[in-house]
Structure 1
Amino acid sequence: MESIKGFFDNLGVTGFVRPSIGFSDFLDILIVAYIIYKIIFWIKETRAWVLFKGILVILGLAAIATILQLNTILWILSNTISVGIIAVIVVFQPELRKALEQLGKGQFFSYFIRNEEEDNQKASARTVDEIIKAVDKMGAVRTGALILIEQEVPLGDLERTGIPIDAVISSQLLINIFEHNTPLHDGAVIVRRNRVAAATCFLPLTDSNEVSMELGTRHRAAIGASEVSDAYVIVVSEETGSISVARGGVLYRDLTMEQLRTMLSQTKKVGKKKLSFWKGRQDK
């Protein structure tokens, strides 16, 4: 106790008295903690979660620099904090805009509602079988398709660009969605936790200049989506019927069904296996 008093005396605080906490203080802390938790949970449902973790790493490095008294690093951080705040606003602009829109519509907290009974398992063997069966049949008749299998990075912002489906995945459902001249055939399908989450989703196109000119918009969208997430993006070419998979900004082309099955079987252990052994063609 004497050491604590001495600490506050050094700060110029005399007569240190232990603060009293009332019911209003407890309620205030509880509300603030709940709001912070919900905001973090909302960010986690979008790709901004990866950026948010990057900011936490920078804050951790700043704390280490403070402890070790790394004055140069502290000087750089202190002189760039104002610019950093503006940069955070720019980086999180889509998420902040969406939050303000939902707040104005009175639907902000609807994004915080989560079904506790959701299966946390990634793509199961049955899901992989149904996807492969659908892709095989669509490739045989040259039906164009674009399927995203969500992994660790949430695809909530991409999902909101499409039409919610929330249906148990089956080959018949996927084939029907991508059938020509149907309302849902244009765009991408997002698969999450063994269910078709949404269809007709818009994907960002890749800006890479190394992409082969023979690839169309569907393949460029697949590469673009794989660049901003860790999803497995399956593409069925409408011109040739060939099967491709985009992963980490790399497109693996002209895959057989067995090769596709091998790749999709890794969706259960994201980050624990690498694709360095893969023998398929690669186009960045």
Structure 2
Amino acid sequence: MSFLSPFFNHLNIKDFIDILIVAILIYQLLLIVRGTKAAQMIVGLGFLFGLFWLGITFKLYSLNWVLAHFFDSFFIIVVVLFQDQFRSALASVGTRRNILTVFSKDVHDFEIDEIVEACGALSREKIGALIVIERTHGLLNYINTGTRLDSRIHSDIIYSIFESSSSLHDGAIILQNSKLTAAGCFLPLSKNFDIERHLGTRHRAALGLTEVTDALVITCSEESGKINLCVEGVFYLCKTEKELGQYLRHIWSNESLDSALRPIKTKDIVR
């Protein structure tokens, strides 16, 4: 370790703080891209860096010329490739999880029951539905694409919105601050080309929103009647209304899940 001594001798407290901040930023970036297509793009960029190193080492002039011009615009390329991840990271800054939660275990447990009851009725009758629950990332951009309701959360209202005779059934409803804020909202479709082919537009919209925000999205399939909870780009099948209720209470109130249920993998469970 003696060869590192000159290096450490020139470090001061400011340098250590600088290194620590950069390390934290890199760690947070890795958490954001983990399990997403962005991770594959990072591997691709690493491969290009490897080629660049080979080009310099073995003096491959044509390869060096191409990659040198590519890396001249490296930061612009990174921003373009990872714009969704940067947006998600910036939206997470300064969020107040304990203040901005939609549900409270002691006060608003009623709303969870109403959502679960509505999803059960929709599932039994095989009526398609898309229900979004806002967490810490604001969804105003998506709320503005629909019709404002600002009503209380009630199973009958949710059910009636998604009936085929309703003019608002072809879209998502967004729940915000213990209110049914809007209906008929349009959500971004997932850009992930690796998702299963049998998933329709409703499920792709659920994936798309949860890939760029921390919202929870519940889908009811009109083909099979299956209920799924989408969290951070992952679907969790809810075979019964009870399972959906357990998942929601696990996320919002930290209640334990039955051992038979698939654990939710999320770095940001609201306490």
Q: Does 1:219 align with 2:203?
A: yes
Equivalence for 2:102: 122
- Alpha-carbon offset, residue 278 of structure 1: 7.1
Equivalence for 2:15: 68
Tell me the percent identity. Answer: 34
- Correspondence for 1:195 among 146, 154, 179: 179
Equivalence for 1:160: 144
* C-alpha RMSD over aligned residues: 3.7
Equivalence for 1:186: 170
Residues 128 and 204 from structure 1, CA distance in 2 versus in 1: closer, same or farther, beyond 3 angstroms? Answer: same
2:261 counterpart letter in structure 1: K
- SS in structure 2 of the partner of residue 176 of structure 1: helix
- SS in structure 2 of the partner of residue 206 of structure 1: coil
- Alpha-carbon offset, residue 242 of structure 1: 0.9
Preserved CA contact (<8 Å) 1:127 1:170? yes
Residues 176 and 201 from structure 1, CA distance in 2 versus in 1: closer, same or farther, beyond 3 angstroms? Answer: same
- Correspondence for 1:147 among 105, 112, 131: 131
- Alpha-carbon offset, residue 188 of structure 1: 0.3
Counterpart Cα distance in 2 of 1:222 and 1:67:
45
Cα deviations by residue, 1:158-191 (Å, 9 ceiling, x for unpaired): 1111111100010010011111031111100000
- Correspondence for 1:263 among 231, 247, 256: 247
Unaligned runs of 5+ in 1: 1-64, 75-79, 96-118
Preserved CA contact (<8 Å) 2:100 2:135? no
Counterpart Cα distance in 1 of 2:208 and 2:252:
23
TM-score by length of 2: 0.58
Cα deviations by residue, 1:105-161 (Å, 9 ceiling, x for unpaired): xxxxxxxxxxxxxx9552221000000111101111111000011111111111111
Preserved CA contact (<8 Å) 2:149 2:181? yes
- Alpha-carbon offset, residue 205 of structure 1: 1.0
- SS in structure 2 of the partner of residue 221 of structure 1: helix
Counterpart Cα distance in 2 of 1:265 and 1:279:
13
Unaligned runs of 5+ in 2: 1-11, 23-71, 88-98, 265-271
Equivalence for 2:261: 279
2:161 counterpart letter in structure 1: I
Counterpart Cα distance in 1 of 2:207 and 2:255:
20
Preserved CA contact (<8 Å) 1:254 1:280? no
1:122 counterpart letter in structure 2: V
- Alpha-carbon offset, residue 247 of structure 1: 0.3
Larger CA Rg, structure 1 vs 2: 1
Preserved CA contact (<8 Å) 2:246 2:255? no
- Alpha-carbon offset, residue 209 of structure 1: 2.5
Residues 273 and 125 from structure 1, CA distance in 2 versus in 1: closer, same or farther, beyond 3 angstroms? Answer: closer
Preserved CA contact (<8 Å) 1:122 1:267? no
Counterpart Cα distance in 1 of 2:179 and 2:131:
12
Counterpart Cα distance in 2 of 1:147 and 1:274:
23
Residues 130 and 241 from structure 1, CA distance in 2 versus in 1: closer, same or farther, beyond 3 angstroms? Answer: same
1:68 counterpart letter in structure 2: D
- Alpha-carbon offset, residue 197 of structure 1: 0.7
- Alpha-carbon offset, residue 273 of structure 1: 8.2
- Alpha-carbon offset, residue 280 of structure 1: 4.2
Equivalence for 2:161: 177
- SS in structure 1 of the partner of residue 228 of structure 2: strand
Counterpart Cα distance in 2 of 1:223 and 1:127:
23
Counterpart Cα distance in 1 of 2:240 and 2:220:
12
2:240 counterpart letter in structure 1: T
1:146 counterpart letter in structure 2: L
Counterpart Cα distance in 1 of 2:263 and 2:224:
16
Preserved CA contact (<8 Å) 1:135 1:236? yes
